[in-house]
Structure 1
Amino acid sequence: MRIALLTESGFPTAESAEGGWCDRLTRGLPEHEFEMYALGASRREARPEPLPDRISALLPSTPVAAVLHGRARRRALRAYRALIRSLVVPGAGTEFGPALYALADAGRGGGLPALLRSGAALRILESSWQAPGAIGAAGSGAAVEPQVRDVLVAADLLAWNLRALSAPWYGTEQDPGRDHWWSPGRLPGRAAAPAGLAAVDLCHAVGGGPAALPGLLAKHFYGIPLIITEHSLHLRERARGYRDAPYRRPVRALLLTFFRLLAREAYQQAGLITPGSSYDQRWQIHCGADPATVRVVYEGTAEAERPAAGAEPEVPTLVWNGPIDPYGGLETMLRALAELRESHPAALLRVHGSAPTGAEPYLRHCRELVGKLFPEEPEAVVFEATDPSGRAERPGAVHERGSVIVFSGTRGAAPRLIAEAMLSGRPVVATDVGAAREVVGPTGLLVPASDPRALATACAALLGDEERRARLGNAGRLRARELYAVEPSAGAFRGLYLELVSRWPQPEPARGGSSARRPFGRTAEAWVAAEAAVAPRRGPVRLADLHRTSPQRGQLGAELRRTDTAGPEQLRTEQLRTEPLRVEPLRVEPLRAEPVRTAVPVGAVAEEAGAG
C-alpha cells in the first residue's frame, strides 16, 4: 500500500530520522510505501540527507501563492463566518465540520492564508464575538469582554492551526518536481500520475489536532480512509498548556473550543483510532470517538531489545525522571527524600530532567529547597541534564546509576518513559495517576500523588529489601517487553492497515477526485477471480507474472501471446475450427462475453487484499 504519514512537526533531522516512532513503524513494515507530509516544513527547509530508505517522499506544507477574488472569496468568507459561529455560539458545534470542509474547498486554489489574516476575516471574528448569544458577549469586564488585541491574536492563531487547509497536497495532477521534494526513485521524468493525497491508499495521522486535518480533507475529497495514532492526547495537552498561556480568557475559550470540535470531528471521521494506553482510550471515547473504532496499540520502543542494566550502585540511589515544572512532582520527591534519609541516611537522589520554557523559576525554587532540606549535605541531590538544549542520554544509561526509578508527577508520566524504566530491570515507584497503573501493573509500587510520606515509605521498602528489588525489577522488565516491543506494535498496524483498507475496496470519489482510483491497483476480487477462470481482457495482461507462477500458467501465457499476435480474421477462424484450449490441472473455460463471478468468502478477500 501507499501510506501517507501526517505529522504536525517539520521534516526529521539527521538525528531524529533514525530511532523515532515513524522510523520504527516504517522499518517494521517494509512491504508498504510511506510518504511523510509535514505541516511544520517548507520548501526552504533543508531536507535530511540521505533520505531514509523507508520514506519514499517528503512533502512540505508551503501554500500556493495566490489571492482569492470574486465568487471564491465570497464562498471562503461565508464558510469562515460559519466556522467562527460554531466556535462562539452555544449549540452551534454541529456546523463545525461542514464549515471546515467548505472553507477548504473554497481555498484549494490557494490564497487562503492571506484571506484568514485579512481585514474582512478580522471583522467577521469581531462581529461574531460580539453578536447576541455569543460566548464572548456573555457578561462584562476586562476578563471576558473581547478586545481588539484579542481579535488580532485569535485570528492569527486560527490561521496558524488551519494552515493544513492551504497545503498543496490536494491536487489531482501535479508536477512532482515543482511542488514537492521527492526521493530519487520518484523523478520528474516519469509519466504524470495523481500526486499528493489523491494517490495514496491510506492516511495515517501521527497525532491529533492539526495533524489530522489533511487526513480529514483527503477523506472528504477522495474518500481515502484515515487512521489516527495518539500517544498523548492533543486535546488534553492543549487544555493543560492553555492554563498558563499568555492569552486572555476569550482567546483561550475560542481556541479550546476549536480543538475540542476538531478532535470530535477527527474521531468521528477516522476509520480506526489507536491510542497508546487504555487511559487515553477512555479519554477519546469521552470526546466523541466510537468505541468500536478505538484499538489500544502500545508504543514500541527500541529499549526492549537492549540488555538490562548491570549491577546496582554501591550507595542506595533513587533516580527521578520527569519534567522540572510544577506538575512534575520534583518538590514532592525532595521532601520525600528528607524523610527517607531518616531511615537510610546514605540514600542519594539523581534528578534527570529538563525545565521547559517558562519553568526556570520552578527549577530555582527546587535548588533553593535542596539547600534548606539538606544544609549540611547538599551533595545528596545531583541535578543532571537540566539544560533543555543539551542532548539527552540514553534511558538505559540513566537507569544504571540508580537502585529505584521514581515518577512523582501529578499528571502522570508518559507510558513509554515508565516502560523504558521497567526495561532496565530496576523496580519502579510511581504516583497512581494517568496510565501508571496500566503500565506498571503488579510489578511496581504505586502511591498517591503529592504525598511525600507515602512516597518515602515506598522507596524505603524497596531500598531495604534487595531480593524484592530484584524480583520486581525482573517482573517489570518481562511485562514491559511483552507490551512495548517494536515487533508486536508493527504487526498490529500491519493488520489494522489491511482491516481499514478492506472496508473501502472501491471508494466513491468526491468532487474533484479521480473516478479511476482503486486501492492496490487491482481489487482483491480481481485477483481471486483470476484463480478460477480467465475473464475477457480489459487491459494489458502481465505475461511475465503468468510465467512465474507455474508451468501450466506458462502454457496459458503462450496461448495468450499467440492470440495477441493473431489478427481478428485469423483468430475468428481458429475459434471455429478448434476446441477451447484446456490446460490441466488448471481448467480454462472458453472466453465469454460476461465476466465470471466467483463467490468468495469475506475472509478470503481480506487475505487477498493483503497479498495484493
Structure 2
Amino acid sequence: MNPTPSRERVCLLTGGGYPYRRDALSGWCRTLVEGLRRFRFELLTVTDREPPSAPAYPLPFNVRSARAVAIDRSSARPERRRGDSDDRVRSAAALLSRGLLGDRDTESRTRGAREPGEPGDRGDHPGRREARSPSNGLGPGDGWGSEGRGGREGEEAAEGWGVHEGGAREALDGRSREARDGRSRGAGDGRSREAGNGRSREAGNGRSREAGNGRSPGAEDGRFPEAGDGREGGVVPADLVFSEGLRQIAELAAERPAILASLPLADALAEAWRSEGRLSMRDARTAATLLRHALGALTVPMPEADLVHCVGGTTPLLTALAGRWRTGTPLLLTEARTPVARHKPHEERLSPAVRTVLRRFRGAVARTGYAEAGLIAPLSAYHHSWALRHGAQATKLVQVPAGVDPSEYPGAAELDTEPAVVWAGSGGPDSGLTPLLAAFEQVVAAVPSTVLHLVGVTAAHEDHCAEQIERMRLGRAVRLHPLPADPRDRYTAGHVVAHVPGPADPPYRLIEAMMSGRAVVGVDVGPAAETLGDAGVLVQPGDPAELAIAVTDLLRSPSRRRQLGDAARRRALTHFTNDRVVRVYGALYSDLAAPPPAAAFELALAVPAPRSEPPVTLRWLVREDR
C-alpha cells in the first residue's frame, strides 16, 4: 500500500514568469509543478510591469492559487524633505547605503578592475574616463567627483546625521555579536531556531542550516568601518551592515508600506559614499528613486506556506527575504539567470555612478539571499562558482542542472528546404539579437538563399526586431515567429540552431535545441560550454565573423550536421532530462518543508544508581557455581 502523499505547501515565487508568460524559465517551472503533484503550490509572481490578466498555462490540480503582483510605483516618488522621517527610517536608510560600500572587494575579485567612471577609479589604468572631463559626455555633477551641481547640496545633506548614529551603532554591535556567537535571531512567529537544533541540517546529505539566524552573507568578504563614525577602528562586515538595513526597511514596510516614500536614501547615499569621491546629489536622487522602486517588492504579501522556492532575480528575492524575516519560512533559492549582470540595457542612459549603485545593490541582495536560504540550487557549475565567489556557503549548494521532457522534443529529420538557421529568444534589447543579425549578414553573403527564423519573439519586442532587421537590410531573409504552443515546432524549421543568448539568459533554450537533435553553434557565454560539451560548435563572444564562419560551415556539410545533432541529443538525454530535475527538487522540498524532528533529551544522573540483586523470579535461572 502506498503511503499517504505529502501535502506540504510550497510558494513558488518568480519575477513576472510562470504561469503568466510563455518562455523557457516558465516552461521549467511548469515542469516542476506538474511533476511534483504531491505538493500543493501557491504561485506568486512579482513584477515591475503591468501584471498579466490571465495565466498563459493551464493550472494543474495541485495549484491552490496563482497571483501576479505589480510593485507599487508610488513608493518611488521623490522623498520628503529631511527631518520628516523618524530616527528608525533614517537609520535604516543609512545602514543600507553604507552596506553597499562593501561590494568593492567583491567587484575587484570578480571583475579585476572597476568600470571607468566608478568610485575608486583614480586614473591608474589606461583608457580611463575622467568623471569631470567634458570629453567623456558627463557634465559637472553627472559623474563621480567632489564638485558639480550636487556640491553644496551634498554639504547640506551631511548635516543632521548625528541623531541616529547611536541607534545604528547599537543595532550593528548587537548583530555583530550574534554573528560571532552563532546565536540566531527569532523571526516573526518564533519559527527561527538556533544552529544545531531540529531545523538545522547538514547540507552534505541534502539538509539545510538554521532557519533565520540573522546573519548576513559573506561576513569574511569586505570589512567596513563601524557605522557610527566611518573612521578607522572598529569594523563590521559590510554585508552585515546592508542586511541589517534591508531587514529594518522590511520591518518598517510591513508596519506601514507608505514609509518607503519617505525613506531618505538620497541623503544617505550622498553621505555614506563621500569617501568614494562623493556621489553628487543629482546622481544620488536618481539612484534613490530607482532603489525605492525596487524596495517596493518588500511590501508584497506572501501566501502562507511551509516552504518558499524563489526562482529569479532581485525583485522576487526581495519579496522572499521580507516574507522570511516576518514568518521564518524556509527558503530555497534557485539561480535561474546569470546573477547581477554588469548593467541592464535600459540602464545605458544612466551615469556610471548610478549604474554602480544599482549593480552593488543587486549584488548585496543576492548575498543576503545566499545567507538566508536553507539551500541554494544553482543550474550549472558556472552559477555554482559565481555563488561561491559571492559568499555562499559551499555546504548549502546543491547543483541541479536544467532539464526538458524528451517526448516534447523528438529528434526529427531535417526538412528538404532552403538552408535555414533557427534562433530562439524574446527579441528584446538584451536577448542577443544584435550580434546574431551581425553574423547572419555575413552568412547570407556566403550562402545567399539562407533564411533566419527568429522563434519566440514577444509582441512587446516585435518593433525592436523589425527595426534591427531593417537597419541591417536583411529584409525577407529573416522571419519572425511567436513561440509555438507545440514544442516540436520550435526547431524543426532549421538545419542549424544558433545559440546566441543574452547576458543573463539561462541555458534552457540550448538544452531544447540539443534535445531536438539539431546541430548547434553556441556562443561561449555563461554555462554554454559545460552544457554543450563536445556535442556542438562553440565560438567566442563578441566575434560575429567567427559565428558566421561556424554556421556557414555546418550549412555546407550535411553529414557533420547530422553527426553533431545526434551527439547533442544523446548528451541531452544523458544529462538534461526533466525527470532528474523533478526527482532532486522533490527531495529538496521534502527536506526543507518537513516538520522538524521531535526534540531528544539525554538523561544524566548526578549520583550513580544503586546496584541491586536480580529479581527473585530470575535467581533460579542462575547456576550457583557461577
TM-score where L is the length of structure 2:
0.62
Give the deviation of 1:130 after TM superposition. 3.1
Query: Relative to structure 1, is the Cα distance of residues 430 and 304 closer, same or farther in structure 2, using a 3 angstrom cutoff?
Result: farther
Query: Relative to structure 1, is the Cα distance of residues 50 and 497 closer, same or farther in structure 2, using a 3 angstrom cutoff?
Result: closer
State the one-letter code of the partner of 1:105.
E
Equivalent residue, structure 1, for 2:399: 296
Within a 5 Å distance, the mapping from 1:91-170 to structure 2 comes to 91=224, 92-109=238-255, 111-112=256-257, 114-118=258-262, 121=263, 124-131=264-271, 134-135=272-273, 138-139=276-277, 145-147=280-282, 150-169=283-302
Give the deviation of 1:266 after TM superposition. 0.5
Aligned residues: 449
Higher relative contact order (CA 8 A, sep 6+): 2
SS of residue matched to 2:478: strand
Equivalent residue, structure 2, for 1:472: 564
Give the deviation of 1:225 after TM superposition. 1.9
State the one-letter code of the partner of 2:571.
R
Equivalent residue, structure 1, for 2:491: 399
Query: Relative to structure 1, is the Cα distance of residues 442 and 228 closer, same or farther in structure 2, using a 3 angstrom cutoff?
Result: same
Within a 5 Å distance, the mapping from 1:188-587 to structure 2 comes to 196-197=303-304, 200-236=305-341, 239-241=342-344, 244-302=347-405, 304-322=407-425, 323=427, 325=429, 327-328=432-433, 329-338=435-444, 340-341=446-447, 346-352=449-455, 354=457, 364=467, 366-370=469-473, 381-385=477-481, 394=486, 396-408=488-500, 411=503, 414-501=506-593, 505=596
1:229-259 Cα distance to aligned partner (Å, 9 max, x none): 12213422xx330674443333322222211
Measured in 2, the distance between the counterparts of 1:316 and 1:101 equals: 56
Equivalent residue, structure 2, for 1:83: 96
Which has more helix, going by share of residues? 1
8 A contact 1:299–1:416 mirrored in 2: yes
Provide the aligned C-alpha RMSD in A: 4.1
State the one-letter code of the partner of 1:333.
A
SS of residue matched to 2:550: helix
8 A contact 1:340–1:456 mirrored in 2: no
1:74-127 Cα distance to aligned partner (Å, 9 max, x none): 434432332233235873443111222223233433x23x22212xx2xx3233
SS of residue matched to 1:313: coil
Equivalent residue, structure 2, for 1:34: 41
Measured in 1, the distance between the counterparts of 2:50 and 2:498 equals: 43
8 A contact 1:11–1:40 mirrored in 2: no
Give the deviation of 1:45 after TM superposition. 7.8
SS of residue matched to 1:235: coil
1:385-425 Cα distance to aligned partner (Å, 9 max, x none): 3xxxx555655324222211122458486411111112221
Measured in 1, the distance between the counterparts of 2:70 and 2:504 equals: 37
Query: Relative to structure 1, is the Cα distance of residues 166 and 408 closer, same or farther in structure 2, using a 3 angstrom cutoff?
Result: closer
1:119-139 Cα distance to aligned partner (Å, 9 max, x none): xx2xx32332332xx336744
SS of residue matched to 1:319: strand
Alignment equivalent of 1:12, drawn from 3, 19, 29: 19
SS of residue matched to 1:443: coil
State the one-letter code of the partner of 1:130.
A
Query: Relative to structure 1, is the Cα distance of residues 10 and 73 closer, same or farther in structure 2, using a 3 angstrom cutoff?
Result: farther
1:14-73 Cα distance to aligned partner (Å, 9 max, x none): 97899733322121111112112333499998565986422113456599999xxx9995
Give the deviation of 1:275 after TM superposition. 1.9
8 A contact 1:395–1:421 mirrored in 2: no
SS of residue matched to 2:534: helix
State the one-letter code of the partner of 2:245.
A
SS of residue matched to 1:399: coil
State the one-letter code of the partner of 1:5.
L
Measured in 2, the distance between the counterparts of 1:27 and 1:309 equals: 26
